[in-house]
Amino acid sequence: MSKKVYVGLSGGVDSSVTAALLKEQGYDVVGVYMKNWSKDLPGFTCPWKEDFTDAKRVAVQLGIPFKMYDFETEYRQKVVDYMVAEYQAGRTPNPDIMCNQEVKFKLFLETALEDGADYIATGHYAATKDGQLLRAKDDNKDQTYFLYRVTESALQKTLFPLGVYSKPEVRELAKKFGLVTAAKKESMGICFVGKVGIKDFLLNELGPQKHGDILDQNGVRIGEHDGAIFYTIGQRHGLDVGGGLPYYVTSKDMKKNEVYVTTDISDERLWHKELKLGDMHWINQPPKEGAKLQVRTRHRAALVNCDIYHTSEGATLKLGDDIRALTPGQSAVLYSGNHVLGGGIII
């Protein structure tokens, strides 16, 4: 009796190839489209109908059953409301990480298992072995940064067939399988919302924000911002401040409604020798005190050597190299070689 796998079919090339590979490997494959968001925003049409149609066409091509799970209510509560609240608190969250934690590898997994699945699978570039999360072969596409909050029990029920391939190889496989999504472009933007920018999304959710002062490294007012929530640490673009040298955001005060900037790229407020983390999540066992690990502070950022020290809040990392523009609310993910240990939220 072949094992039954429910594949999250998003309508993109990666998930399409995932389903084709698993079918080729002899699994009993069922395609599932997760309807997480369908709302259009001013000037932006949500692509869900097009994605749903593409996912369905792939299922028909592969001759596999196809279902749709409607998770809109839960996605709104667990991902969107969390994201908006974090921005209002002056932090910069990562909705993709929360989507993986709460929707794909919790809600989708639980629903699929109840429905008769033995496993779920997604088109993520990652690998898993015995409930451990491992980096993908293609370092450029590795998506383990977004997966570090998934549990060991979820990983034991998850397949990541793309972990051994590069993106060009996946495109070639899509052509080989004759999939209708073979030439489909990458989807960018907020997880499931489409090609809408975060500022437009927040404006639609919260309305116009109170303007306030932009102050330089000397405390001099040099301009006006249109809402402190729209600015993130290290940001250079969109400040609308005249003058010669570029300005970088160093911090912001939500109570005073002020944004602080500097023209000095080597300003000590932009660079950090240590990193404080809270809301820790360990996939398997927490690392030992003082363990020598590597940390990634944003997707595709270079891995930086660090020593970890556990604290009452979470952890402090002593960094081997200074890291620029650490952003409260973002995630720092810890690795030991190819093994993903877990991580936490930057305080």
The residues carrying an active-site annotation are 99, 191
Per-residue tokens: 334: 């810890």
Per-residue tokens: 344: 């936490």
258-262 sheet: strands from edge to edge: 221-225, 212-215, 258-262, 248-253
Q: CA-CA distances (angstroms) from residue 31 to 5, 169, 171, 289, 319?
A: 9, 22, 19, 43, 43
